Structure 1
Amino acid sequence: MFPSRLAAPVVALLAPLLLYGGALVSQYGFGLHPCEMCYWQRWPHQAAILLALLALLLRRNDRAMRIFTLLAAVAIAISGAIGVFHAGVEYGFWEGITTCATGAGGPVTLDSIMNAPLIRCDTAQWTLFGISLAGFNAIFSAGAAALVLTLLRRKTTSAA
């Protein structure tokens, strides 16, 4: 087990790792190609992973660890907010602010451009109980950010 003071940074690391990992599995394992807004949701998770790793590396400096954990929680929450926006676009609550596209990996050739799937941001590729992947990211990211902040606050109030 690990000391309770490490609970917040560990959660701040594991939550985006699982969410980002799930996105990669859905893309490469199940062929659900991401749209542009899907990529937007991944960037804060990548940042949160790095910030949480820094927090854990700096665990001997309690103040630095808490700051980097807080920043990781903010990054997770930002991904959740983007997920809310993306889900709203999918459900038709509002219009998106982007053209829908998918990123090409590797060298770009005319053939790769012509064969690249066009992924619409306003259409959910997969749902469970009416909730899209963007919706699930919003729910799980908001919950994870709240949990990290609660764990950080618990440490502060227990020390007082």
Structure 2
Amino acid sequence: MTRTQLTFLAAGGSFALLAGAFLFQALGYPPCTMCLWQRWPHAAAIVIGALALVIWRPATPLLLLGALAAATTGGIGVFHTGVERGWWDGPASCTGSDAGLGSDLLSTDIAPVVLCDEVVWSLLGLSMASYNALISFALAALWVWAARR
């Protein structure tokens, strides 16, 4: 595969994951705070990929930046998975352990409170955060492969 094809696949993968997140949200699965954190590096990877694709011979550091974006969202996904499984504590602002969360539940805001330590959807025992981590690390490998071409 060429550098351009690999870059297109890596950026396109982030686009697909981000589109999937918005689709799940439209289907009634609102994101928690950590889910939103995972979206930003995908957006960055898409922009980096677009820049790399318009440059005739993209610089290797640009492609490695795409790998860093994909690895970052993968790392957040691993952390989120650990919070969901109770392996470690998550941010107090979005887990059931926050003493002040009850006041948020009484607010008049119509947006639902989504806790980061609860799995709202899973397939084959893996949550959306877990799938994001696995796929994002594969995308990071594609970015690195593109950079080495």
Shared fold by TM > 0.5? Answer: yes
Structure 1 residue aligned with 2:109, among 103, 107, 114? 114
What TM-score, normalized to structure 2? 0.86
Q: AA paired with 2:118?
A: T
User: How far 1:151 moved relative to its partner?
Assistant: 3.5
Aligned to 1:133: 128
User: How far 1:116 moved relative to its partner?
Assistant: 1.4
Q: AA paired with 2:109?
A: M
Distance 1:114 1:63 in 2: 46
Aligned to 1:152: 147
Identity %: 43
Unaligned runs of 5+ in 2: 96-106
Deviations 1:107-156 (A, max 9, x none): xxxxx943211100000100011100000000000111112212332x1x
What TM-score, normalized to structure 1? 0.80
1:18 to 2:13 alignment: no
Q: AA paired with 1:72?
A: G
**Which secondary structure does the structure 2 equivalent of 1:99 belong to?**
helix
Aligned to 1:72: 66
Aligned to 2:40: 43
User: How far 1:7 moved relative to its partner?
Assistant: 2.1
RMSD, aligned CA:
1.8
1:85 to 2:83 alignment: no
Aligned pair count? 138
Change (3 A) 1:63 1:118: closer
Q: AA paired with 1:134?
A: A
2:63 and 2:146 in contact (8 A); partners too = no
- More relative contact order, 1 or 2 (CA 8 Å, 6+ apart): 2
Deviations 1:35-69 (A, max 9, x none): 000000000000110011011111x2x253x3222
